[in-house]
Amino acid sequence: MKTKVLRNIFISVGVLFASVQLLTAGANDSASSFRNIPLAGHSPTYTAFDAPGAGTASGQGTQALCINPKGTIAGGYIDASSVFHGFVHGTDGTFITVTAPGAGTNPGEGTEVLSINPMGAATGLYADQGAAFHGFLLARDGTITTIDVPGAGTGFLQGTQAENINPSGVIAGFYIDSSNVNHGFLRAPDGTFTTFDAPGAGTGPGQGTFVSSVDCLNPAGTAAGEYLDASNVFHGLVRAPDGTITVFDAPGTGTGPGQGTQCAGINQAGTIEGFYFDSNSALHGFVRAANGAITSVDVPGAGTGPGQGTLCANINAPGDITGWYVDASSVAHGFSLAKQGTLTTFDVPGAGTGSGQGSFAYCNNPVDAMSGWYTDSGNVFHGFLRTP
């Protein structure tokens, strides 16, 4: 199943749901850097959890993907048959399993919740028995409404992927057409769709325009994402509520296939964070201010090999960032970067220390409660809540 960003990194955990340069005006010509930021010392609380029914074999388990201001967590789990199921985890410890009508029951198929708003309405996607995608809206009363964007394909790995829901109930995501090209969309609360393509987006299979998930649609209706050009290079994008699309590349980003800039979140101030691949396919985080200025983020201890480095995964309303870095042994470690520049790194108790294992901090809410998952020594996923 597809996770929030990482369209071409090892963290995508499902067989089916893995998705496949000049700065714009106003941006800095060169990035500032957080390479030498001070490290903080905290004693936070970690609460690990497994959704009822989650599998316990390698590649199975629970992934906590989003947390709202009230502390409600949502995401997905993979059962013993490698089928995906969505979940909502309340602050009282209760779990609600989310299975969209029409969701497939073969390995790699099923349901995943990708975003939850402050009122508790959620959105996500499911794959049907033919491995086509459909978005859905999960209302607070548990009602599920299927979302299919007009023009979405109905074949294998085609269809609609609903990725975000904001406080007004607007949903953003992307759809894959019958030619396997990706296009962005917005869905108003009344069900009206607006589709868009970034200038320069490629028109070949797997190329096109994407809106990233969890918190890539802010309350004002500004969306963040990326597009894949005709040379299979990623470029960041931000779409304003009036439809204006601004594209950008983080300084130092690579220009080879699979390299480039990808967005992972946008907050109320219009600050965007994400990551980019350099020419060696190593990862670096970035923060882009509303005025276009870009600051790079490299956590001390991050590796410099292909697939290693720093990944910013989310930004909350105050401007604090969470994510993870991958060290030289390809082990992941969580981090939190406060707006004022203080960096905290951490490992969730129980996280494995082998290649591809470790701690993945995925989302932080306005009070810096953090959701994510860790992979243990048996390569099983477990959700976690980190409270400061």
Report the C-alpha gap between 192 and 120 in whole angstroms: 21
CA pair distance 320, 297, nearest whole angstrom: 13
Q: Is residue 26 part of a domain?
A: no
Domain-located, residue 229 = yes
Partners of 374 in beta bridges? 359, 382
The kind and range of the H/E element at 311 are strand 309-315
Number of structural domains (the chain) is 1
Q: Is the pLDDT confidence value at 12 over 50? A: no
pLDDT at 19 over 50: no
Q: Is residue 19 part of a domain?
A: no
Flag whether 8 is in a domain.
no
Across residues 10-27, what is the average pLDDT?
29
| Residue ranges making up the domain that contains 321 | 32-387
pLDDT of residue 186: 98
Confidence band, pLDDT 50/70/90 cuts, at residue 42: low
- For residue 212, tell me if it sits in a domain: yes
**pLDDT over 60 (residue 26):** no
Mean pLDDT (the chain) is 91
Beta strands of 81-170 (E only): which ranges? 84-89, 95-98, 110-116, 122-127, 133-138, 144-147, 159-165
Pair 145, 153: CB distance under 8 Å: no
Between 99 and 35, whose confidence is greater?
99
Q: Which of 344, 351, 292 is nearest to 323 (CA)?
A: 344
Least trusted range by pLDDT, from 6-10, 220-224, 249-253, 344-348: 6-10
Question: Domain of 132: which CATH number?
Answer: 2.130.10.10
Query: Phi and psi (nearest 5°) for 170?
Result: -75, 135
**pLDDT at 25 (0 to 100):** 26
What is the C-alpha separation between 147 and 164, in angstroms, rounded?
Answer: 13
Does 23 reside within a domain? Answer: no
Tokens of 315: 């930004």
Model pTM?
0.90
Question: Structure tokens of 362?
Answer: 């995925």
Residue 18 scores a pLDDT above 80: no
Residue 313 lies in a domain: yes
- Do 218 and 240 form a contact (C-beta atoms < 8 A)? no
DSSP H helices in the chain: none
Q: Would you say 115 and 122 are in contact if contact means Cβ atoms under 8 Å apart?
A: yes
Evaluate if residue 8 carries a pLDDT over 80. no
Q: Which residues contact 281 (CB under 8 A, 6 or more apart)?
A: 254, 256, 258, 259, 306, 307
43 confidence band (pLDDT: 50, 70, 90):
confident
pLDDT of residue 3: 40
Per the domain annotation, does 5 fall within a domain? no
Instruction: Let me know how many helices (H) and strands (E) the chain has, helices first.
Output: 0, 29
What is the Cα–Cα distance from 106 to 79, expressed in whole angstroms?
11
Residue 188 identity (one-letter amino acid): A
Whole-angstrom distance, CA of residue 194 vs CA of residue 196:
7
Give which of 284, 319, 264, 301 is closest to 31, Cα–Cα: 284
pLDDT at position 23 over 90: no
Alpha helix stretches (DSSP H) within 209-278: none
